[in-house]
Amino acid sequence: MPFPKTKDPARMTRFTAPIAEQIWDMKYRFKEADGTPIDGTVEDTWRRVARATAAVEENPAEWEDRFYNALEDFRFLPAGRITAGAGTGRSVTLFNCFVMGTIPDNMGGIFDALKEAALTMQQGGGIGYDFSTIRPRGAEVKGVAADASGPLSFMDVWDAMCRTIMSAGSRRGAMMATMRCDHPDIEDFIGAKQNAARLRMFNLSVLVTDPFMEAVKGDKAWELTFGGKVYKTVQARDLWNRIMRATYDYAEPGVIFIDRINAMNNLNYAETIAATNPCGEQPLPPYGACLLGSINLARLVWHPFEKRAHLCKTALDDLTRTAVRMMDNTVDASRFPLPEQAQEAQAKRRIGLGVTGLADALLMVGLRYGSEEAAEQTEEWMHAIARSAYLASVELAKEKGAFPLFDAEKFLASGNMANMDENVREAVAEHGIRNALLTSVAPTGTISLYAGNVSSGIEPVFAYSYKRKVLQKDGSRTEEEVVDYAVQLWRERFGDKPPPEHFVNAQTLPPLDHVRMQAAAQKWVDSSISKTINCPEEISFEAFKDVYMAAWDQGCKGCTTYRPNAVTGSVLSVSAKEDRAPEADTGAEVVYLSEPLDRPQALEGATYKLKWPDSEHAIYITINDIVQGGVRRPFEVFINSKNMEHFAWTVALTRMISAVFRRGGDVSFVVEELKAVFDPRGGAWMQGRYIPSILAAIGGVIERHMIAIGFLEGEGLGLKSDPKSQVMAVGEAPRGPACPSCGQFGMQMIEGCLTCPNCGHSKCS
């Protein structure tokens, strides 16, 4: 039957917030190549997606109406790739998540894998890779009388490629790199992103095994091995503390409990998992692919804030069953970058059905996110979704057949299915199942805004309201208040009446309450969960480590934290007044000039000598400064060398950088862009660190000069898209990194990925 309608007056209407319409227009609305809209309204978008996903049915018209009904009013939210790409006829994948093939330990295989990654990201897929298969740095390379450069050197190549390839929708690809906790280069991997210019396109996670956790708890020795050879022996607890310290200080790497993932995998008889997609919610085998969608729990609560408030179980069951069928059809409707990915998807028919709006739904039924009661309610709702999803997939198997690799005895013996309800197990045993895995909780930052700013995924409400600049149709920008969905409903009903005590947000929530909620949801999610555990800056290192150990002890499949500090910056903070968040763009004023500054007769400056290894002649870099508003800032650059091979590009660089400097404003991005340049011929080691190109070395010189004159606070600080950046007014608390898309400050760490509250930019979604 179609999804039941409700006349509850508390329901928000379509696009009540300007930001929601803007996101639809920018990201999901189908347009001609010249920008002319084809989707006239959001209803046209829903109809387009419904028609495309129903096209594979025997009776497309019937299912098109059912699918439209599920999409209507943002009840079911397919992931952005489906909403933007389905029914457009464009050569893009509708799948969000890919893990690439196993990387061979030879040069030819490595660069074949690089090519596959480029093709996947070109179509808009985020990818994951396990770099544990590459021999460690210093290992013998037989036949060429050389030592191996190690997996991190190849990760640098991947990072440069990712910056070059623009994925569909003009968004750069995102990548996850994993490495086993017993790889000889694991210590270098743990500290790799402490260099602000390195591996910026990667999220990093350590694959933590059960034996390693036992060794940590028992304070035992731990061997680092490759190819049967022991390269080094360390204390497991020391290595664990090293992971924890890097995460405490730099927010990376994350931790993935890989043996638990494989033990619980429904397909553990047919595949071995060693990597995840960029946000970690989809552990996948080589060439594995998964598509995503979310049920909007906030839209299913009847009579919010009343004693009779409840989430309608009938509506939840019907919507879940419709969503499963719609996503299963998407497997057949999608294109794939590589034939191996298409074969994997067809053989296993993975889907990742999750939720969004959980925190809002809990607020609406009167529960405090993070409490034991909220965890119990979350577990109940997730259990109901899992039951409905699996039973719907059984019905599909009766109609269309089970997934090709289905083996009833082995499938039912997996750790996940052992916990499933007995009647579900009986149905699977009798009829098979259409989809090998069905549930996942993905990042939903952008689609949650599009749906009226419901709380994201299973995260708590981040901020009850904040200011955001919204692009209007005439090109102007207005400042709009963006209010959380549940808070908006409260205001509509109760006006200025203060919200009750159970209204909590991410800023005030104890870290172990986050873990409790993640563990409660994980019990009924057969893949994994993308979630960030926000930790206060003042949390002690020992208490911080307890968060990860609690995640392990409570059955989580991974753990990602974010602790704001002077190195990583801060997420958007909530003011002490009522439930309001501060504006996302306050602080030190940056002056942008319509005309370049005139050059004074005399300027102060400094000249630096740069000797690039293997180059006959040194490069001399002169940077002159100007004092503006009492602040010394760079004004011009001169780059000189006796090497005539350098002449043309040094002259061009001199003119371009000087032109930028003379325009005023925050010019620190020049440093970032130069430091990110990768030379395919290879970089060089200088003063104990790897520099990817001579241009990156010049960027480092300019950065050191900016630090010396007080324009930047320190290395890696103040760069536009560096997660460590922060430009602060005197006495102001860190407000978070600047967005690389719109430049506004206050990016939020949500579901493992920095997300901009101003324009919705995210590396991961």
**Residue 391 to residues 3, 321, 384, 527, 708, Cα–Cα distance (Å):** 18, 8, 11, 17, 65
Whole-angstrom Cα distance, residue 200 to residue 174? 10
- Classify residue 530 by burial, with Cβ atoms within 10 Å: 0-12, 13-18, 19+: buried
Whole-angstrom Cα distance, residue 315 to residue 306? 19
Whole-angstrom Cα distance, residue 696 to residue 469? 34
Token pair, residue 190, equals 């743990």
CB neighbours of 260 closer than 8 A, spacing ≥ 6?
210, 555, 557
Cα angle: 59, vertex 61, 64; to 5 degrees = 110
CA-based max dimension of the chain:
88
Whole-angstrom Cα distance, residue 293 to residue 313? 19
The length of the chain is 765
Q: Which one of the listed residues 97, 279, 739, 764 is annotated catalytic?
A: 279
Phi, psi of 714 (to 5 degrees): 180, 175
Q: Which one of the listed residues 64, 252, 271, 281 is annotated catalytic?
A: 281
- With beta carbons less than 8 A apart as the criterion, state whether 475 and 493 touch: no
Query: In 463-603, which ranges are E strands?
Result: 465-471, 477-483, 533-534, 558-559, 561-562
- With beta carbons less than 8 A apart as the criterion, state whether 350 and 270 touch: no
Q: Which one of the listed residues 262, 266, 277, 435 is annotated catalytic?
A: 277
- Smallest Cα–Cα separation from 188: which of 159, 154, 164? 154
279 catalytic? Reply is: yes
Residue for token pair 């000189």: 640
Q: What's the one-letter identity of residue 243?
A: I
- With beta carbons less than 8 A apart as the criterion, state whether 416 and 263 touch: no
281 catalytic? Reply is: yes
- Smallest Cα–Cα separation from 115: which of 48, 44, 149, 164? 164
- State whether the Cα torsion 263-264-265-267 is positive or negative: positive
Query: What is the SS3 assignment for 502?
Result: coil
Give the catalytic positions in this structure.
277, 279, 281
